[in-house]
Amino acid sequence: VNLLFEQPYTRIANLEAAGIAKRQTASKYLKELSDIGVLQEIVIGRDKLFIHPRLMELLRGEGNSFTSF
């Protein structure tokens, strides 16, 4: 969970580098979070980025409220 809040996006490689999961499992975890609306998956070239839209909104805004899931 902490990894998702370090940056407003993450990659499969980030989970691998943190020792959380191997590539296939990391991909599955991020895809599941995308499916339930926590993350938003976008493809840039050969990379998949998983954006945390609510964290992005929080970082861009002036307030400090965070809508719960």
Contact call for residues 27 and 16 (beta carbons, < 8 A):
no
* Residue 52 located in a structural domain: yes
What distance separates the 2 farthest-apart alpha carbons in the chain? 38
The single residue listed with the structure tokens 């599941």 is 32
* Residue 68 located in a structural domain: no
What's 8's domain CATH number? 1.10.10.10
> Whole-prediction pTM value?
0.79
Q: Distance between CA 59 and CA 62 in Å, rounded?
A: 8
Q: Distance between CA 69 and CA 56 in Å, rounded?
A: 15
* Residue 35 located in a structural domain: yes
Q: How many domains does the chain have?
A: 1
Contact call for residues 50 and 40 (beta carbons, < 8 A):
yes
CB count within 10 Å of CB 39 equals 23
What would the pLDDT profile of 13-61 be if each residue is shown by its tens digit? 999 999 999 999 999 999 999 999 999 999 999 999 999 998 888 888 7
* Domain assignment of residue 24, given as a range: 2-60
